[in-house]
């Protein structure tokens, strides 16, 4: 019998990792990533969907190395600490749909929970509406969880199932590094924005290294922006939130140092001032992430440690990004109002239908 001891599982461990991630996020912006978007799991996944041609929004197409590097950093950490466990079978299609709606909600706000914190740290006060919405969405999710919501158990499976997502991420990383050209005219295999947020990027080598480091550290500490708020609402446990708090404060301080802090509601980068949609989009995202068990970053890290269901959620997010841009649901576009209501109704139906009495076996 062993006592569970691990520095990364301590309060100090997660606070230090929050500090490191906040520092790296602000620095990636300094190195060229879009403003208040040093890291955004939703935006970067959307950019990857664009690079692969799943949507045609010309300003947001770039195969961001950070997302594959997150997954591979977590994969390496899981291998190094014997935590790589291929598993699957917990309602993958429902997770795909939750990933889709989480992305649709996040892109109405224009950012995932990570970017919500980074927008706040950069002085974008519209993020306050987003974070309030995120908290409300997580609160509704907690109510479903308290009522017995579950997507069912996952089960151990063959190595190939757990290795598939890391393999896909290796391919994506190679594609963006090598940037292959096909045909005599040299047509690129990927779409790449010439202007807009998709054209703003830190050098690939730094994006990759930072992504690997964050993936490694986040896998060890289970860093989760949604889990931070969820655990406080559910049981007054501030463990994960202390990491998120450290992330926010460090990004804020470094934004001051780098002169990246511009307070206000108006004229913020990749943002809109329709308060209702900033709020409601993140209610939808927060609820969807909570029912699926974690924030978009956490889903990417889990996919790296062999969780195929989390991988399906990530693919759902990519599909959701394509749907959002193809059907004009992004930001405060007119269709966003309808979609956020439809999304909330569907995800609440999933929440109600997923309730079951989880028996405590004696």
Partner 1 sequence: MAESVDARGLSCPQPVILTRRALQQTSVKDVIVLVDTMTQVHNCTRVAEKLGWQAEYEEKDDVFELTLRKR
CB 70 within 8 A of CB 213: no
CB 223 within 8 A of CB 217: yes
Binding of partner 1 at residue 161 (CB under 8 A)?
no
3-state class (DSSP) for residue 217: helix
Per CB under 8 A, which of residues 11..70 are in contact with partner 1?
A: none
CB 298 to partner 1: min, Å: 8
CB 290 to partner 1: min, Å: 9
- The H-assigned helical ranges of 147-189 are 159-178
Which of 55, 64, 115, 230 lies at the binding interface for partner 1 (CB under 8 A)?
A: 230
Task: Identify the DSSP state of 331.
Answer: T
CB 198 within 8 A of CB 62: yes
| Helical axes 204-221 vs 159-178, angle rounded to 10° | 160
Binding of partner 1 at residue 237 (CB under 8 A)?
yes
Q: What is the C-alpha to C-alpha distance for residues 73 and 304, in angstroms, rounded to an integer?
A: 8
Binding of partner 1 at residue 153 (CB under 8 A)?
yes
256 contact partners, CB below 8 Å, separation of at least 6: none
- In this structure, the number of other CB atoms found within 10 A of the CB of residue 14 comes to 28
CB 321 to partner 1: min, Å: 23
Per CB under 8 A, which of residues 167..226 are in contact with partner 1?
A: 222, 224
Which of 145, 248, 282, 315 lies at the binding interface for partner 1 (CB under 8 A)?
A: 145
Binding of partner 1 at residue 7 (CB under 8 A)?
no
Binding of partner 1 at residue 350 (CB under 8 A)?
no
CB 288 within 8 A of CB 317: no
Q: What is the C-alpha to C-alpha distance for residues 168 and 313, in angstroms, rounded to an integer?
A: 15
- CB nearer to partner 1: give 83 or 188: 83
Scanning 81-89, 178-186, 253-261, 276-284 for contacts with partner 1 by CB under 8 A, the matching segment is 81-89
Binding of partner 1 at residue 337 (CB under 8 A)?
no
Q: Which of 313, 281, 286 is nearest to 230 (CA)?
A: 286
Beta strands at 187-188 and 87-88: parallel, antiparallel or unpaired: unpaired
Q: What is the C-alpha to C-alpha distance for residues 197 and 345, in angstroms, rounded to an integer?
A: 31
- As given in the structure block, the two tokens for residue 45 are 């996944």
Scanning 3-11, 44-52, 62-70, 171-179 for contacts with partner 1 by CB under 8 A, the matching segment is 3-11
Binding of partner 1 at residue 355 (CB under 8 A)?
no
Q: What is the C-alpha to C-alpha distance for residues 117 and 21, in angstroms, rounded to an integer?
A: 12
Count of residues binding partner 1 (CB under 8 A)? 38
Binding of partner 1 at residue 235 (CB under 8 A)?
yes
- CB nearer to partner 1: give 28 or 295: 295
CB 310 to partner 1: min, Å: 9
CB 28 within 8 A of CB 218: no
CB 225 to partner 1: min, Å: 13
Binding of partner 1 at residue 361 (CB under 8 A)?
yes
3-state class (DSSP) for residue 155: strand
Binding of partner 1 at residue 87 (CB under 8 A)?
yes
Task: Identify the DSSP state of 8.
Answer: G
Q: How many CA atoms lie within 13 A of 127 on its CB side?
A: 24
Which of 7, 12, 53, 83 lies at the binding interface for partner 1 (CB under 8 A)?
A: 83
- CB nearer to partner 1: give 195 or 357: 357
Per CB under 8 A, which of residues 265..304 are in contact with partner 1?
A: 292-294
Which of 231, 248, 252, 296 lies at the binding interface for partner 1 (CB under 8 A)?
A: 231
Q: What is the C-alpha to C-alpha distance for residues 311 and 308, in angstroms, rounded to an integer?
A: 5
Binding of partner 1 at residue 330 (CB under 8 A)?
no
Contacts to partner 1 by CB under 8 A: 1-4, 6, 9, 81, 83, 85, 87, 89-90, 145-146, 150-156, 222, 224, 227, 230-231, 234-235, 237, 239, 292-294, 309, 358, 360-362
């Amino acid at each position: 019998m062993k006592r569970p001891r691990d520095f990364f599982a301590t309060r100090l461990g997660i606070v230090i990792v929050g500090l490191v991630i906040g520092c790296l996020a602000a620095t990636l912006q300094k190195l060229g990533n879009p403003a208040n978007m040093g890291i955004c799991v939703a935006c970067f996944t959307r950019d990857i969907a664009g690079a692969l041609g799943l949507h045609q929004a010309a300003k947001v197409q770039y195969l961001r190395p950070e997302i594959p590097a997150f997954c591979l950093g977590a994969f390496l950490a899981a291998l190094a600490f014997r935590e790589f466990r291929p598993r699957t079978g917990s309602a993958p299609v429902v997770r795909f749909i939750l990933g889709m709606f989480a992305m649709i909600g996040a892109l109405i706000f224009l950012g995932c929970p990570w970017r919500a914190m980074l927008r706040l740290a950069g002085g974008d006060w519209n993020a306050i509406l987003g974070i309030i919405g995120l908290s409300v969405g997580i609160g509704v999710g907690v109510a479903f969880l308290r009522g017995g919501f579950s997507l069912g158990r996952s089960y151990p499976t063959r190595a190939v199932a757990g290795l598939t997502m890391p393999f896909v991420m290796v391919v994506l990383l190679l594609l963006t590094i090598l940037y292959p050209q096909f045909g005599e005219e040299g047509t690129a295999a990927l779409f790449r924005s010439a202007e807009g947020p998709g054209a703003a990027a830190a050098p690939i080598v730094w994006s990759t290294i930072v992504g690997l480091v964050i993936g490694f550290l986040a896998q060890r500490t289970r860093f989760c922006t949604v889990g931070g708020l969820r655990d406080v609402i559910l049981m007054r446990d501030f463990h994960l939130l202390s990491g998120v708090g450290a992330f926010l404060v460090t990004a804020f301080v470094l934004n001051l140092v780098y002169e990246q802090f511009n307070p206000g509601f108006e004229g913020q980068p990749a943002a809109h001032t329709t308060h209702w949609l900033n709020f409601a989009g993140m209610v939808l995202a927060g609820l969807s992430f909570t029912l699926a068990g974690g924030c978009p970053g956490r889903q990417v890290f889990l996919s790296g440690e062999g969780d195929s269901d989390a991988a399906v959620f990530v693919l759902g997010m990519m599909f959701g990004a394509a749907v959002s841009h193809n059907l004009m649901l992004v930001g405060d576009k007119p269709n966003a109002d309808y979609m956020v209501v439809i999304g909330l109704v569907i995800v609440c139906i999933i929440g109600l239908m997923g309730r079951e009495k989880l028996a405590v076996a004696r």
